[in-house]
Amino acid sequence: MKYFPLFADLENANALVVGGGEQATQRVRLLRKTNARITVVAERVNAELRALAQRHAIQVRLRRFVARDLQGQRLVYSATGEEGLDAAVARAALARAIPINVVDRPELSTFIMPAIVDRAPVTVAIATEGAAPILAREVKSRLEALLPSNFGALARHAQRLRGRIAKAIPDARSRRHFWQRLLAGPFRNAILKGARKEAQRILAAELRGAATVAAHGRVALIGCGPGDPDLLTLKALQRMQEADVLVFDRLVNPAILEYARRDAERIYVGKSPRGAATAQAEINQILVREAAAGKTVARLKGGDPLIFARAAEEMAALQAAGIAVEVIPGVTAAHACAARIGLPVTLRETVRQFCLVTGANAAGEPDLDWDCLAREHSAFAVYMGVGNAALISRKLAAAGARPDTPVVIVENGTQENERAFATTLQDLGDLLSEVAIEGPAVIFFGLDWSSAGLARPEHVRLFRRGQKRQPAGALPAVPVKPPGKPPGKPPASPQVTP
């Protein structure tokens, strides 16, 4: 972040605009939305600025800028269009430590102008640090469409009610939950449609309820997907914003935490393979403890909470303690990783069932139906399987799986450090010996691109033992079906459940 976002208080402050053309006028229009005292200095000004001066809305000095014009100014805009004059204004402002913006000259400026969505007193400022203003305008247009034109009325009502509500609800946490209810429910709707009397009735009822009902804690088990924040659901974002406490582990991308409230307490309960780990029983106790204290808790989980994430144990502990629990689904890692590399997980004629299995159990080794998984046309994804990949390969081979069964590994799927490799069952061990897989990974068995008539993506590396690697983008060299086998109706899909 090159520019730190701030909002300047211009209430009865002095602001100077140097220049009298259209760009200077645009700055004056913005400043007039505040209660600043505006002075324009220019040898000539346009008709709009002259009219404002005649109405005493601004002061105009019809002469060339001099350094003493900066005396007592809170901030300065220079929009003369003269390179030398703009530079002189910037030097003079810098010498006096006065914030300066020179139009289209970021190298001379100490602040830049954002795109603004004005729903006063709600103001949204969007900037790209000068890199791509058109993107800021895109965000502005989306927000303009999203926020009702009278959205500021809701904020003005909230401002008037702050003292009354603070007196009625002294506890800060209960008061925050009350505000969340008030500004997201029927009161909000009544204000936005202009129904003032209805809003007052709703407010009175809410205050009566707040005075008699103690705040109860609750927990949301939130699926955060495999890492890309763009894959978060809207409901996940809403629950994260409501949370007083975030309980998260190493599978949650740190970037996702930025979407939560900044004042939310953060509790790390990470588990590392063959390393330090927070016991599941302790995690359960943390969730119960925090919710029992009346807090809103967000338990953040990688992928989907109900797929190999031990959500059932946490739900059971919370239900036993009488605490409300909600599950917010997320994009599970297998589906997200497959989508990233364009790998179909089902095919109409050959892969009609796709299974999710875990590569480790409580004893450390997977206990799966190897005969079923090894059948031809079986396709499945293994979670947490890198550590036991050699064992999985041996078990599948012993159960009759073909040595050339396609295998695809995606590490850190959907994140910036994502890596993907394509190999075969017989070469999986050699691949893992050569390439250290340290991040969370999903291993796909029985799936490839050629059987779907697709090319392997360029960023997916192909690995074959004792064979020069093929260029990315080429079709995998090993066919999924035995050569010469005539097409026909595939056998019944095995009944494998994760």
pLDDT in tens, 350-401: 888 899 999 987 766 788 999 999 998 889 999 999 999 999 999 999 999 9
**Token pair for 185:** 């429910």
Q: What is the pLDDT of residue 494?
A: 36
Instruction: Report phi then psi at 348, rounded to 5.
Output: -55, -40
Told to judge if 249 belongs to the known catalytic residues of this protein, a careful annotator would answer yes
Look up the CATH architecture of domain 151-212.
Orthogonal Bundle (1.10)
The model's confidence at residue 488, banded by pLDDT at 50, 70 and 90, is very low
Alpha carbon distance 178, 208 (integer Å): 11
What is the longest distance spanned by two Cα atoms in the chain? 93
Strands 245-248 and 115-119 come out as: unpaired
The model's confidence at residue 473, banded by pLDDT at 50, 70 and 90, is very low
Residue position matching structure tokens 């976002």: 5
Told to judge if 244 belongs to the known catalytic residues of this protein, a careful annotator would answer no
Query: Which segments of the chain belong to CATH 3.40.1010.10?
Result: 218-331
203: pLDDT strictly greater than 80: yes
Query: Which segments of the chain belong to CATH 1.10.8?
Result: 151-212
User: What tens digit of pLDDT does each residue of 405-464 get?
Assistant: 999 999 999 999 999 999 999 999 999 999 999 899 999 999 999 989 999 999 999 998
Q: What is the pLDDT of residue 274?
A: 61
Question: Which CATH class for the 14-113 domain?
Answer: alpha beta
The active-site residue, picked from 228, 244, 249, 448, is 249
As a residue count, the chain comes to: 498
Element at 139 (helix H, strand E): helix 133-146
Alpha carbon distance 231, 330 (integer Å): 8
The active-site residue, picked from 140, 235, 271, 481, is 271
Query: Which segments of the chain belong to CATH 3.40.50.720?
Result: 14-113
Alpha carbon distance 193, 214 (integer Å): 31
**Cβ–Cβ < 8 Å for 39, 17:** yes
**Token pair for 60:** 């105009």
Look up the CATH architecture of domain 218-331.
3-Layer(aba) Sandwich (3.40)
**Token pair for 74:** 């809170």
E strands present in 365-431 = 379-383, 406-411, 419-424
226: pLDDT strictly greater than 70: yes
**Token pair for 474:** 């080429």
**Cβ–Cβ < 8 Å for 344, 447:** yes
Query: Which segments of the chain belong to CATH 3.30.950.10?
Result: 335-462
86-100, 262-276, 417-431, 483-497: which range is least confident on average? Answer: 483-497
Question: Which CATH class for the 335-462 domain?
Answer: alpha beta
Element at 235 (helix H, strand E): helix 234-242
Q: Phi-psi region for residue 12, left (φ > 0), alpha (ψ -120 to 50) or beta?
A: left
